[in-house]
Structures are given as structure tokens and as C-alpha cells.
Amino acid sequence: MDRLFIETKIIGDDAGAISGLAWKFGVPDRIGDMIEPGAFKGAKLPLPMLFGHDMNDPIGTWDSAEEKADGLHITGKLLVDDVARAREVRALVKSGAVRGLSIGFITKQASARPGGGRTIKSLELLEASLVTIPMHSGAKVTSAKSAVSALGVAAAINRAAAHFARR
């Protein structure tokens, strides 16, 4: 199973609803892989929501996956009423400590990219994980609802992103 770590936009609320940009089209990840629009066609839902790709750490489900012009958008629910670990992860998302998504999939069709990496044309999406440090630098966390005002979160995240970009 391939695993790609990408930084993404995550929005969550106190009831556990969460959404994000799981893959941004047109921008390679840190190892040069790009996924083409249409590659996620036929994603089977619900999709397991894991923490850090740990198959023994399910924290919810992704119930919607939709390709839009900018990438694959997913929406789901952290099982905060039933799973203690989901409540912990929700707190981490709301604080900004967890700000990325990473997808686990099996590559079905790909070709080598000049300079490294692959162009992935077809895949089987197996899971999407919340992660602390994603691989894809093209997308950013924007807010965590109900934690603090969206403006305050966005400003804090932009400062943190600028700090990491300088490294």
C-alpha cells in the first residue's frame, strides 16, 4: 500500500464533523508524486478514518469523497461520542497540532515523472488518515470550528506555516 502525506485544509466541529482537502491536484508532493484528476473515481465509501495510518487506530469514517477542480475533498465524522481516541484527535485538530491528511491507496496505473516521482492515473483508495506532519506542501489548515474564531486560527496557522516554510 502506498502512503502519501499531504498538508491539507481541515475543518472540524465539536460533534466530530470534519472535512478536508485530501489531495491537491496540480502540485507534486515532497517526493514528486502527482495524482491526476479522475484517479479517485470509484472510491468506495464509507472510508476508514485512521490516525497516522495505524490500522489499529480507527477514529471515524469518511462518508463523502468528491473530486473538485482543486483536488479530492472528503467529509466525515470523528466518533467522538464512542471512541476516546477520536476525542483526543479532535482536540489535537482544534489546537492546530494535527493539521494534515494523508491517503493510503494501491496504485493501479502510474508513470514515472522526469526528475522523480510518479504521475498516478488510477488508484484504489483504502483509507485517509489525520496526521501531524503531512508530505504535500501545497495545502494548509485553515480552521477548526468551535475551538477559537476562524480568523484567529487562520492567523495562527499562517504564522506556523511561515515558520515551517523557512526551515
CB atoms closer than 10 angstroms to residue 167: 4
Give the total number of structural domains in the chain.
1
Q: Coil, helix or strand for 156? A: helix
Q: Tens place of pLDDT for every residue, the chain, 167 residues?
A: 666 555 554 555 568 888 888 899 999 988 899 999 999 998 999 999 999 999 999 999 999 999 999 999 998 999 999 999 999 999 998 888 888 898 999 999 999 999 999 999 999 999 999 988 776 654 333 444 443 333 343 444 444 444 444 44
pTM tops 0.75, yes or no: yes
| 125 vs 68: CA distance, rounded Å | 16
